[in-house]
């Protein structure tokens, strides 16, 4: 395992990584046992250093579950307890995504990832994707823009939401996005060839 | 107007003005070509991480415009438009729909707008795209509140053969490009019949979204980037398909703005007790922001969506205020 990955892992535990990095790491965590152990170790160390009870929950799994659209189980519980802790309401614009290292933030990560993913997912392809693989299914568009250091997902009080509420919220936003694109296309007097931004609502993904 | 005063002084401004005029002409031609030409081809659409391949067919038969888009990658799906009717075909019976009318890379293009207020234009050497010669047009934003474009327009017809939407660092946010295209081919109505191709495909009628326009919107943004004007204000008539999302019951107020090339839409609706995180999100070229505002007893949700930088979308959403001081919002939906 290279040093960069270790650094990234450490950053993730310390809440200093961005969303893109989270996704990358998740991908690797899934396939790399050694790395998973390092991840747990770092989590423990982090917890000890902050004088918190060591969290014995694999946060990565929850995040991956969230991404795959599966119900979140063990992760959501410690997260809810911790969500009463003071947390910044909105992550500062333009800054790199800063996760705080705590159970509460784990939830935020989970939900942030959920928001980002579901919002762009939910098209007909998604269900099949969710069934068909355990791999983390990251919408390319999100990755692409994160690559370019545009800010990814910012969210405020998502940690107070249940997965169902979050899903409803995402559906709603997706509906608005669709209406925007449709109406924008139509008010071009139907003249401009309607092209394919719909790609953004597909979770079809080349395996990476 | 001020530009006219400066014209004699600056030779470069003269060329710029010419480029603007000519760019306008080419953009108009592009729109005409989209609408009136018969063409058929395969295009790729996406960004550096992800591509979709789509076959496209467009034509006018007996005065009626037809269009068919078929996704060649991923889940088989087709969108067929004939006149005002749109049919989406995709497998499964999800209540989720496909966007019935797919957008152009230039969302808010508007022939009447003064785009030179917000963008600079420059032509570059012709390049070959999809086997045809294409004129290159660079459109760069004059401020940080919008994206740039690089367009390749067919020399003969003006049809858009390739488009790059460019972020502020010049990165490509979205690209589409014809791999192959035939322009000016004969097509008949029979060419626009759905093709099941052996797959179990269900037809999903597209949502019809109509709106009656509002003369005095109850909510207005206090800030929009320079050059953006209100194009349409209306109340959405909620679609009522089976299995419709219950959150669609209340018709949101909708305001659409354009600067002549880019567009954003503001939605304001009653949030009720619904929980939805305040957020700003961006994927590809599209940004969205959700904010809440209390007005009287009610809590309203403000959603801004558009092909603008997320910081701009966020600022617009945050600036939305009730347009009237009274608490009565007769047209904010019930």
Give residue-wise pLDDT tens across range B288-326.
Answer: 898 988 888 888 889 999 889 999 999 999 999 987 654
Instruction: Return the SS3 of B92.
Output: coil
Cross-chain CB nearest to B31 (options A139, A175, A192):
A192
Q: What is the mean pLDDT of chain B?
A: 76
- CATH number of the structural domain spanning residue B300: 3.30.200.100
**In terms of Cα–Cα distance, which of A62, A56, A57, A64 is closest to A26?**
A64
Same domain assignment for residues B280 and B302: yes
The whole-number pLDDT of residue A196 equals 37
Tokens of A12: 């993730």
On whether the CB atoms of residues B112 and B118 are closer than 8 A, the answer is no
Tell me: do B185 and B232 sit in the same domain: no
Q: Which helix (H) or strand (E) holds B314?
A: helix B310-318
pLDDT, tens digit, for every residue of B127-179?
Answer: 999 999 999 999 999 999 999 999 999 999 999 999 888 988 888 888 888 99
Q: Buried b / exposed e across A182-199, counting CB within 10 Å, b at 16+?
A: bbbbbbbebbbbbbbbbb
Specify whether B141 is located in the same domain as B65.
yes
Tell me how close the Cα of B8 comes to any Cα of chain A, in angstroms: 36
Higher-pLDDT residue of B43, A26 = B43
List the single residue in B256, B282, B303 with the smallest CB-CB distance to A187. Answer: B256
pLDDT in tens, B58-103: 898 888 888 888 888 877 777 777 776 766 666 654 333 444 334 3
Asked if the structure places residue B33 within a domain, the reply is yes
For the cut 60, the answer to whether the pLDDT of residue B46 exceeds it is: yes
Is the reported ipTM for this assembly greater than 0.95? no
Helix (H) or strand (E) holding B13: helix B11-36
Which chain B residues have a beta carbon less than 8 Å from that of A156?
277-279
**Same-domain check for residues B177 and B227:** no
Among the ranges given (A147-161, B11-25, B259-273), the one the predictor scored with the smallest mean pLDDT: A147-161
- B192 and B288 assigned to the same domain: no
Q: Are residues B217 and B237 in the same domain?
A: yes
Q: Is residue B333 part of a domain?
A: no
For residue B196, what is the domain's CATH number? 2.50.20.10
Per the model's pLDDT, the better-predicted residue between A134 and B308 turns out to be B308
For residue B149, tell me if it sits in a domain. yes
Q: Are residues B58 and B153 in the same domain?
A: yes
Is residue B206's pLDDT more than 60? no
| Cβ pairs bridging A and B (under 8 Å) | 255
Quote the CA–CA distance of A200 and B50 in Å, as a whole number.
9
> Which of A150, A179, A193 is facing B209, going by the closest CB pair?
A179
* pLDDT band, very low/low/confident/very high, at B275 (cuts 50, 70, 90): low
Q: How far apart are CA A46 and CA B319, in angstroms?
A: 40
Confidence of residue A201 (pLDDT cuts 50, 70, 90): very low
**Same domain for B152 and B15?**
yes
In a domain, B68, yes or no: yes
pLDDT of residue B30: 85
* The two structure tokens encoding residue B268: 């304001």
Out of B137, B166, B200, pick the residue that ends a domain: B200
> Is B121 within 8 Å of B137 (Cβ atoms)?
yes
Are residues B179 and B220 both part of a single domain? no
Residue B130 located in a structural domain: yes
CA B234 and chain centroid, separation: 17
Question: CB–CB of A187 and B32 under 8 A?
Answer: no
pLDDT of residue B266: 92
Of B70, B56, B58, the C-alpha closest to B201 is B70
Residue of B17, B2, B32, B15 lying closest to B109 (CA atoms): B32
The answer to whether A196 contacts B247, with C-beta atoms less than 8 Å apart, is: no
Same domain, B104 and B51: yes
Are A192 and B174 an interchain contact pair (Cβ–Cβ within 8 Å)? no
- pLDDT at B224 (0 to 100): 94
Quote the pTM value.
0.60
Answer whether residue B122 shows pLDDT above 90: yes
Task: Choose one of B154, B184, B200: the last residue of a domain.
Answer: B200
Q: Nearest CA to CA, how far is A202 from chain B (Å)?
A: 9
Query: What is the tally of structural domains in chain B?
Result: 2
Q: What φ, ψ does residue B169 adopt, rounded to 5°? A: -90, 10
- Nearest residue on chain A to B159, alpha-carbon basis: A193
Question: Which of B108, B111, B101 lies closest to B80 in space, CA to CA?
Answer: B101
DSSP string of B242-300, one letter each residue = TT--GGGSSPPEEEEEESSS-EEEEEEEE-TT-----EEEEETTEEEEEEEEEETTEEE
pLDDT at A22 over 70: no
Looking at the structure, tell me whether residues B284 and B242 fall in a common domain. yes
CA distance A114 to chain B (A): 12
Question: Scanning every residue of chain A, which has its alpha carbon at the shortest distance from the alpha carbon of B54?
Answer: A196
Q: Would you say residue B240 has pLDDT above 50?
A: no
Classify residue B332: in a domain, yes or no: no
Question: Which of B47, B75, B275 is opposite residue A144, by nearest beta carbon?
Answer: B47
* Domain assignment present for B2: no
B236: domain range? 206-326
**Residues B152, B276 within the same domain:** no
Residue B173 lies in a domain: yes
Residue of A20, A150, A156 to mutate, interface with B, max B Cβ within 10 Å: A150
pLDDT at residue B237 in the model: 57
> In the listed set B200, B232, B263, which residue is the last one of a domain according to the structure?
B200
């Amino acid at each position: 395992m290279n040093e960069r990955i270790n650094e990234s892992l450490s950053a993730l535990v310390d809440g200093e990584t961005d969303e893109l990095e989270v996704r990358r790491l998740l991908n690797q965590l899934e396939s790399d046992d050694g790395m998973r152990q390092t991840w747990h170790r770092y989590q423990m160390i982090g917890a000890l250093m902050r004088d918190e009870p060591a969290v014995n929950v694999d946060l990565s799994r929850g995040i991956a579950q969230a991404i795959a659209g599966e119900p979140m189980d063990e992760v959501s519980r410690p997260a809810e307890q911790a969500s009463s802790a003071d947390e910044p309401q909105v992550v500062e614009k333009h800054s790199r995504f800063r996760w705080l290292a705590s159970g509460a933030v784990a939830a935020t990560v989970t939900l942030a990832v959920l928001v980002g993913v579901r919002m762009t997912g939910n098209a007909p392809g998604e269900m099949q994707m969710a069934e068909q693989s355990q791999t983390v299914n990251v919408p390319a568009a999100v990755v692409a823009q994160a690559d370019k250091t545009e800010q990814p997902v910012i969210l405020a009080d998502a940690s107070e939401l249940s997965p169902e509420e979050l899903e409803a919220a995402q559906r709603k936003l997706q509906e608005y996005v669709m209406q925007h694109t449709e109406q924008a296309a139509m008010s071009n007097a139907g003249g401009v060839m309607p092209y394919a931004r719909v790609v953004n609502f597909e979770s079809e993904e080349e395996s990476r | 107007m001020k530009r006219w005063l400066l014209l004699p002084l600056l030779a470069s401004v003269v060329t710029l003005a010419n480029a603007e005029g000519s760019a306008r002409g080419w953009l108009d031609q592009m729109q005409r070509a989209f609408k009136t030409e018969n063409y058929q081809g395969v295009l790729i659409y996406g960004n550096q991480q992800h591509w979709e391949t789509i076959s496209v067919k467009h034509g006018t038969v007996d005065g009626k415009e037809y269009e068919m888009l078929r996704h060649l990658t991923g889940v088989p799906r087709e969108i067929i438009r004939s006149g005002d009717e749109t049919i989406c075909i995709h497998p499964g019976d999800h209540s989720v729909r496909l966007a019935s009318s797919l957008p152009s890379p230039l969302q808010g293009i508007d022939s009447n707008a003064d785009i030179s207020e917000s963008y600079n234009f420059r032509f570059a050497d012709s390049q070959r795209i999809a086997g045809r010669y294409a004129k290159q047009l660079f459109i760069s934003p004059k401020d940080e509140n919008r994206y740039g474009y690089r367009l390749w327009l067919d020399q003969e017809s003006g049809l858009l053969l390739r488009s790059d939407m460019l972020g502020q660092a010049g990165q490509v946010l979205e690209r589409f490009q014809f791999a192959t295209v035939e322009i000016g081919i004969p097509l008949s109505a029979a060419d626009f019949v759905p093709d099941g191709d052996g797959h179990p495909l269900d037809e999903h009628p597209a949502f019809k979204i109509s709106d009656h326009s509002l003369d005095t919107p109850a909510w207005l943004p206090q800030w929009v980037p320079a050059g953006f004007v209100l194009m349409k204000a209306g109340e959405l008539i909620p679609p009522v398909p089976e299995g419709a999302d219950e959150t669609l019951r209340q018709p949101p107020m909708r305001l659409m703005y354009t600067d002549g090339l880019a567009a954003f839409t503001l939605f304001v609706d009653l949030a009720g007790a619904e929980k939805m995180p305040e957020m700003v999100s961006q994927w590809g070229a599209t940004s969205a922001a959700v904010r809440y505002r209390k007005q009287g007893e009610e809590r309203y949700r403000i959603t801004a969506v558009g092909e603008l930088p997320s910081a701009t979308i966020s600022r617009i959403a945050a600036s939305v205020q009730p347009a009237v001081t009274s608490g009565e919002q007769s047209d904010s939906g019930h």
